[in-house]
Structure 1
Amino acid sequence: MGIRDRVQSWGNLFVLSAASALRGIRDNIRAVVWQPFALNFGLDMQQVGTLESLSDLTKLLFEPAFGVISDALGRKRLLVLREVVVVLALLLILYAGSWHFLFVAMLLFGVSNSLVSVWSTLVAESAEPSQLGFVYSVMGACYTGAGLIGTLGAGYIADAFGYGVVYTAATVFAFTSLALVWLRLPETRREAPAKLDWEKTLTSTVMALNPPKELRGFYVAMGLDLVAFGMGVRLLSGMLNAGYGYTPGMIGIYTAAMTLTMAIAQVPLGRLADRFGYSRFMATSQFMACIMLGLMLFSKEFVVVVIANLIMGLANAFWMPAEQAWIAANVDPKKRAQALGSFSTFRGLLGLPAPIIGGILFDNFGFNVPILMNLVFAFIDGVVILAWVKDRPHQTQDH
């Protein structure tokens, strides 16, 4: 039985796969052109980094509360909200008359991103515990594989017809994704809605700063990851556009190389992660990313950048299902959304200033310095994962 047949046989997971694919197209259309668009709008890299950090700040403020609300009231209504705010954000960018529109749009993207843990919880509740890594990898493959359409299309359309047509296409896919989630997405929380504990909801962000002892190594390692890549790779398209004249079409091609590798490799690697251990895969990912970053320091030639992004795609394929499966496998299923939200907030607080720092480093010292900082922190994080992150920390604590 092939991957397609297996996914169709899962029922709910087929709908989730379709939703992931639509979001992949929508998000990749936006991601390819966002930083060049902002630079073309008159911003510099420090200001672009500040907007990225603003989105992160919004995410980490709301995510723990949404986790608590989701565990009490269910997943679907919050995921519908997620789609609505993305539509509003894209419309603001499409009709932007000043930087204030971009400011509000990034706030809304932050709200949308704060609901990622609710989505991850719904996926986990739709999968068998022994197949978490595999199921997350299938969702990731649908997201990244379909995202190739957005990645290649956005770059070409921006070069040929301008940014307005790109954001119009993104908005159309956003409306389609909203319709699918609203009409077909299942509710996976089986218990009847519980009374919402408002005190717990309002204090959830503070509670996120004190993770359980056995999970602290994982939290710190994931925070270091966000610091590392927030300074460098996250700003890559803007830095290459501003520093080396990369067009949206060129950005689309190298991003597609990374996306294609991720889409091909995620499913088999997700299976292997379930078998051989999530922490080993995350550490391997970081060391592979160091190779990619080293190539970027060596040369900014287009061919080298494409090769580097092929390697980065493989590194991401090692990382993404392993990270999501690790946290899903090590928290109380009844409080999974809250735990995922708290984890993301802790991680986000550590990484919050990284895009601003990366933008400042680029504006003052050029491309190599933020990329070198990314490489150093990624290598340190790989060592931290090997030394401190165990696949089953509860069992380790018991012994």
Structure 2
Amino acid sequence: MKHKLNLYAITLNSLLSGFRMNLINAIWQPFVLSFGVSMSSLGLVESFSGHRGIVPALAQAIGGWLSDRRGRKPIIVWGSILTFLYLGLCLLAFYLRDWRYILPAVFFLGLSAYSRPARDSMVADSVKAGELGVAYSLVMAAFLLPGIFAPAMGGLMADKLGFGSVFALGLVLEALAVLPIVVWAQETIVYNPPTKGLTLKRFSIPAHLLPFYATTAADFFSWGLGYGIIYGMLAKTYGLSSSQIGLIVSASSIAWLVFQMPAGKLVDRFGGFRLMVISEVLGIPLMIGWLFARSMKAFILLQILWGLVAATWVPALQSYIALKVPKEERGEAMGLLSAFRGIISFPSPLLGGLLYEVTGISGPILANLAGIIVTIAMFLFWVKE
């Protein structure tokens, strides 16, 4: 490997960040709902700064562009600083019982995504082309490892000690996570001052990548309709507690972790395109299962299938785009991909929340299923392998 120390630093950072994110993800939607907001309002929060939100989409476009010019390392560190602000505001919201702190908190949560293209690019810069699938899977496996216990731990802490205890521990974990980057990570790109300013023209999609960008945006939109609010829907529909939601999330993390390294090897052997198609196909029985499941046992078993869906998708997507552009443009390309997907898909959790209020849990899941079928067709008939 070209920069072995970098991969170790990013893997340790991913482990600790994964502990923090897995701890909080299980309780985030119940935490927002605890302020008495509706499912459509939760969908609005997710559309704004959630995983599929408009703020992280735009932040990643800028962060990716800057990481190709200012370096990967400082962008990753700034991402942690923004995460501190998000966690601190969540603590204030909890202890002051004032939902208005949630709004700037989710804004900083979205901005913290600024560092994702830099981190993904540093991984690609640090290994050989034939090792990308395994390298991305190693980093993802480290992220998932705490998911074996952290979601259940977060749910239990929220039930016994209050949501504030979870966010306080999150602050400590994020402080530890940034240390390996600061101390060990080596910059992988030479300072490259921009010859042109950051304008809208910089965000034009290369023609040969447009089918791929559009198809992955369709995927992101589809999964945002159902999966984007699934834990909130389970809490509201079946009255599941934070501890129960934590167990469900833990089950998905365990399954994802088990499948991740084998999936990475398959990506290196067969290519990202085939694995992305397989991932989409696996989503069909998952949606059907969510439609008919009624018990905790059923939801936990379905998370095994979800783990396989995620394990085959993530390294395939990252490897596909990393190999399609030069090293000096990776950050920009990855940031632009995230921005395009986010801009297209950001309304989907809100639409899913509105669907839920009209149809119940079946509406968002059926819409998610329809989107998966459309995405598979786009992959097969439009995207080049």
TM-score bracket for the superposition, by shorter chain length: over 0.9
Amino acid at match of 1:117: P
Residues 256-276 of structure 1: CA deviation (Å, up to 9, x unaligned): 111111111111111111111
Amino acid at match of 1:108: F
Amino acid at match of 1:214: H
Shift of 1:78: 0.9
DSSP 3-state at the match of 1:11: helix
With normalisation by structure 2, the TM-score equals: 0.94
2:105 aligned partner: 105
1:336 aligned partner: 330
Shift of 1:116: 0.9
2:68 is the alignment partner of 1:68: no
DSSP 3-state at the match of 1:95: helix
Residues 220-260 of structure 1: CA deviation (Å, up to 9, x unaligned): 11101111111111101111111110111111111111111
Cα pair 2:145 2:253 within 8 Å, conserved: yes
DSSP 3-state at the match of 1:194: coil
Cα pair 1:297 1:368 within 8 Å, conserved: yes
1:135 aligned partner: 135
Question: What runs of 5+ residues in structure 1 fail to find an aligned partner?
Answer: 1-5, 392-399
Task: Find the aligned partners of 1:134 and 1:390 in 2 and give their Cα distance.
Answer: 23
Amino acid at match of 2:257: A
Residues 10-64 of structure 1: CA deviation (Å, up to 9, x unaligned): 3321111111101100111111100001101221111111111111221222322
Cα pair 1:57 1:348 within 8 Å, conserved: yes
1:82 aligned partner: 79
Residues 109-158 of structure 1: CA deviation (Å, up to 9, x unaligned): 11111321111101111111111111111111111112333212111212
Cα 1:280–1:194 shift into 2, 3 Å? closer
Residues 73-130 of structure 1: CA deviation (Å, up to 9, x unaligned): 1011111000011011001001113222111111111111132111110111111111
Amino acid at match of 1:90: L
1:296 aligned partner: 290
Question: What runs of 5+ residues in structure 2 fail to find an aligned partner?
Answer: none
DSSP 3-state at the match of 1:196: coil
Task: Find the aligned partners of 1:142 and 1:224 in 2 and give their Cα distance.
Answer: 28
Task: Find the aligned partners of 1:17 and 1:168 in 2 and give their Cα distance.
Answer: 23
Residues 316-345 of structure 1: CA deviation (Å, up to 9, x unaligned): 111110011100111121111011111111
Identity %: 30
Shift of 1:185: 2.5
Shift of 1:356: 0.7
2:115 aligned partner: 115
Amino acid at match of 2:101: F
2:16 aligned partner: 22
2:173 is the alignment partner of 1:173: yes
Cα pair 1:82 1:115 within 8 Å, conserved: yes
Amino acid at match of 1:371: I
Task: Find the aligned partners of 1:65 and 1:297 in 2 and give their Cα distance.
Answer: 38
Shift of 1:207: 4.2
Shift of 1:186: 2.3
Task: Find the aligned partners of 1:64 and 1:39 in 2 and give their Cα distance.
Answer: 30
Amino acid at match of 2:32: A
Task: Find the aligned partners of 1:260 and 1:19 in 2 and give their Cα distance.
Answer: 19
Aligned CA RMSD, in angstroms, stands at 1.7
2:152 aligned partner: 152
2:256 aligned partner: 262
Q: Which moved more, 1:362-371 or 1:148-157?
A: 148-157
DSSP 3-state at the match of 1:246: coil
Q: Which moved more, 1:22-31 or 1:96-105?
A: 96-105
Q: Which moved more, 1:276-285 or 1:381-390?
A: 381-390
| Matching residue within 347, 354, 376 for 1:360 | 354
Q: Which runs of 4+ in 1 moved over 6 A?
A: none
1:394 aligned partner: none
Task: Find the aligned partners of 2:374 and 2:102 in 1 and give their Cα distance.
Answer: 34
2:228 is the alignment partner of 1:234: yes
Task: Find the aligned partners of 1:42 and 1:146 in 2 and give their Cα distance.
Answer: 30
Aligned 1:88-99 pairs, distance under 5 A: 88-96=85-93, 97=96, 98-99=98-99
Amino acid at match of 1:174: E
Shift of 1:389: 2.2
Task: Find the aligned partners of 1:383 and 1:44 in 2 and give their Cα distance.
Answer: 34
Task: Find the aligned partners of 2:147 and 2:176 in 1 and give their Cα distance.
Answer: 15
Cα pair 1:25 1:148 within 8 Å, conserved: no
2:190 is the alignment partner of 1:196: no
Q: Would you say how many aligned residue pairs link Structure 1 and Structure 2?
A: 379
1:374 aligned partner: 368
Task: Find the aligned partners of 1:346 and 1:359 in 2 and give their Cα distance.
Answer: 22
2:237 is the alignment partner of 1:243: yes
Task: Find the aligned partners of 1:30 and 1:21 in 2 and give their Cα distance.
Answer: 14
2:40 aligned partner: 46
